[in-house]
Amino acid sequence: MPVPRPLAPRRDFPALRGRPGRPAPAYLDSACMSLTPQAVLDAQEEYYRDYPGCAGRSVHRWAEEVQRRYEEARETFARFFRAPGPQHLVNVRNSTEGLNAVAQGLRLKRGSRVLLTDQEHNSNLVVWQRLRETRGIRLDVLPLPEDRPFDEEAYLSALERRPALVSFFHASNLDGRTLPARALVEAAHDHGARVLLDGSQAAAHQPISLRSIAPDFYVLSFHKMLGPTGTGLLYVGPRDLETFPPWFVGGETVETTEYTTHTLRPPPHRFEAGLQNYAGVLGAEAALRYLGRHRFEDLPAHLEGLQRHLGREIEGLEGLSRLGPPRPRDRGAIFPFVLTGLAPEDVALFLDQGHDVFVRSGMNCVHSWYQARGLPGNVRASFHVYTGRQDVDRLVRGLRELRDRVPARPVRGDRP
Just list the catalytic residues. 365
CA-CA distances (angstroms) from residue 35 to 80, 94, 345, 384? 19, 16, 22, 9
Contacts of 309 (CB under 8 A, 6+ apart): 3, 389, 392
> CA 313 from chain center: how many Å?
28
Report the SS3 class of residue 365. Answer: coil
Whose CA is closest to 198, among 165, 151, 230?
165
Whose CA is closest to 276, among 55, 45, 74, 68?
55
Q: What are the strands, taking DSSP E only, across 143-242?
A: 165-169, 194-198, 217-221, 232-236
* Helices vs. strands in the chain: H and E counts, helices first: 13, 15
DSSP label at residue 154: H
Whose CA is closest to 386, among 306, 282, 314, 288?
306
Cα angle at 161 between 160 and 162, to 5 degrees?
A: 85
- Residue 20, judged by CB atoms within 10 A of its CB (0-12, 13-18, 19+), counts as exposed
Contact 137, 87 (CB under 8 A): no
